[in-house]
Structure 1
């Protein structure tokens, strides 16, 4: 058996201390796949849940963590003609990115622009595709809309804020838990127009104040139970809400359905990882056409930029997970594969 190094979990699941770099079988590309030597990968909250045993791995996906990566094509599977050895790529995966090598379906890959670093490329797929799906595909954001985005300093939150601004939103209100994060969100290029500390402020009252009592047209929520009533209150007539996670809990007691009826609200739930490869491929194709050309690196001046909180060598994978678990990041946490 040919092996490679990967981030593994002692006993299959457990606390941060169970993460270690060990040997596992090196994948072999099948028909329609390429083998990529990974240079960098992104850390996402779902990785924490998977490590703890609370996030189901899609059927057929690698049990190794990691859903986004950048790297170099080193082997072609049968029938692959549109990709070449040595091409620099980045992409989305059902799992397996926390490793030296990963198999990738070709339709889930994107070619890395030459000016983009490995770390910047690895910061894009999960965050920007999730934001694009939530805001554009489901939220149907339009010029002049008012938008409310929770977890604003997260990777998806930052992407969604900039995307909403790029689409011409009238106001973009972001929530976070600290003044430092809120100030940062106001300061970044194409950042939030308004902010609210969800711990100390009533964000529903804030968005009504900034929208002359109308409320917002689009809400992107990761929080669930604790934000539910205020989210419904925040939405304008014909408003749309996309729910991406339930960080505060999934059960909403004593729910009053009348505002949903009277305001004609649309509420959509989604997890990108559970979607079929065909759906993801279609989303990526649309994203490459409509969004990717607008994204620049951290020092760029495009409509949207990558914002990396910190880059860790993968020998410090425990520190990277701890940084996210403690909600210390403003922007993306990236890990690079080191010798």
Structure 2
């Protein structure tokens, strides 16, 4: 049986970067803190941290365990707080962040609906294709597509999603429809660029994992929304989230191509800072988003399922 206080010590040690500092916060001597962490590792049968006199480094097993511990401890703290209050209160300010496309089409309307259900809540919605630092900008919840890189954050998947290559019917009529990824070198391509990272390659899914496809860009932009508009206007191929282009595909303004071979898993996640206590407004808002997006998930994914081999 895992002692929850040992789990809490482990999480604090990772957050503080020091086992002795974490021990002091919990009223433990360095010797007792070290013994408690060793007990946790022995119970699990794995090493969670590589320890030296200067720093702590998570092992691969420790990294996975850390993310799960954050979620478990947040749920426990929230449950205790709810019992103490006797009711769930949704109040205060909720700052959310989403990309322009996703925010405009889905997250903004869903957030406004949630706010209308909770009169004591004040909602702040930021839409930007820049990857905002949640801590620096005071963001409570960010909605993002693709894997999370920041180990300080925890995530919850809201919906399945794939990035696919798409183009306007007018572009395909003029330039032809690519039949393989090799054909893409002969096409006009619309690419995203990010400050400090340059032009982002299209990451295609393969049995061995994501593989970058580097193409010559005819037009680059830092705006996914502008890239979609340029694609609709017939200026080239774009690599876009199926959620972002769903309305355009339904209306015949864009057509996915090569969906049996050229796509990327980029599921949609709610990302929020790691905290011992997760406010009710964040937890309930994420619950709301997940319900709403999963109601639409099938109709969105069906747009790329006609081709054999399309991801399900």
TM-score, normalised to structure 1, is 0.25
Select the structure with the greater relative contact order (CA < 8 A; seq sep ≥ 6). 2
TM-score, normalised to structure 2, is 0.26
Larger Rg belongs to: 2
